[in-house]
Amino acid sequence: MHVRTLGQGLQVSAVGLGAMGMSQSYGPNPGSREDMIGVLRGAVEHGVTFIDTAEVYGPYVNEELVGEALEPIRDQVVIATKFGWNIVDGTMQGVDSRPEQIRKVADDSLRRLRTDVIDLFYQHRVDPDVPIEDVAGTVAELVQAGKVRHFGLSEAGAGTIRRAHAVHPVTAVQSEYSLWTRDPEPEVLPTLAELGIGFVPFSPLGKGFLTGTVDATTAFSAGDIRTRVPRFTAENLDANQALVAYVRTIAEAKGVTPGQIALAWLLAQQPWIVPIPGTRRLSRMTENAAATTVALSADEVADLDAVAARIGVSGNRYDENGMAMVGL
């Protein structure tokens, strides 16, 4: 596995692992807790050293899972988690990045993750009621105290990133980015390049769409977040198939999978981009990790860009409430 460097010299595997789906968002988990521990430890065995979780996943149970799985190999991994929600009786009640809340979440996350330091601590969503300078200053205090190593932001706009970075260096920004979600390109990515901040795309496979395994006939199980995502209505999925069809032609020519092409496209964008595809299967994890060996020529990248631009995407990536929480 290749190694890439985010901001502030933080080195991680070129492809990480998003753990969220092991605990929520994609319907009942077909595997047991022991299976998920096996996937997490198997990822590390395959060179994936960058693991992403958050207090709100579950809530709380995903951090506990990651903590149990990685405790014996803690020195081999970089663990990222997130703060920024008001969680009441297991339910999100809006954002909350007050300094006292950030400090509390840090202590609680450390306990659940079974570690004495959080490698990368993201603000999960921007809180309009708390100046980002106060957020950055609070994380800086946690860094000074030795509880946190690096500061990150998720789904933040360019202006917010600049303001935060002026108070305490931002190591990474995490936002949705893939062949069919290009929102960060106009402003966020140029800002990160200027400031020397890494970028961590979540949903780099379009919540499974870019693997070629989802189409208008797909029936999602109860509790699957995609039942609430406009982009995943049957009509929009049908309209979006043209993009996957083109990705598949390139994959077949190279003898790889559509998902590996989608990840290789991301890796070709910048050397400081590290996607974190999520999975609950060891076989899919190894497939994703192997995307680092898939080489795309400049012409192939340009062709993918041109086709994606020409086809466009039908449907928003979140419902109305979700879109309201995005700062891009």
Q: Is 177 a catalytic residue?
A: no
**Tokens encoding 251:** 């994959």
Q: Is 64 helix (H, G, I), strand (E, B) or coil?
A: helix
Taken as a whole, the chain contains a residue count of 328
Partnered with residue 91 across adjacent β-strands are 88
| Cis peptide, bond prior to residue 59, ω within 30 of zero | yes
Q: Residue 304: what residue type?
A: L
Catalytic residue among 57, 122, 177, 246: 57
Q: Are 296 and 325 in contact (CB under 8 A)?
A: no
**Helix locations, the chain, DSSP H:** 33-45, 61-70, 99-113, 132-144, 158-167, 188-195, 234-254, 258-267, 282-289, 298-311, 320-324
Active centre residues (catalytic):
57
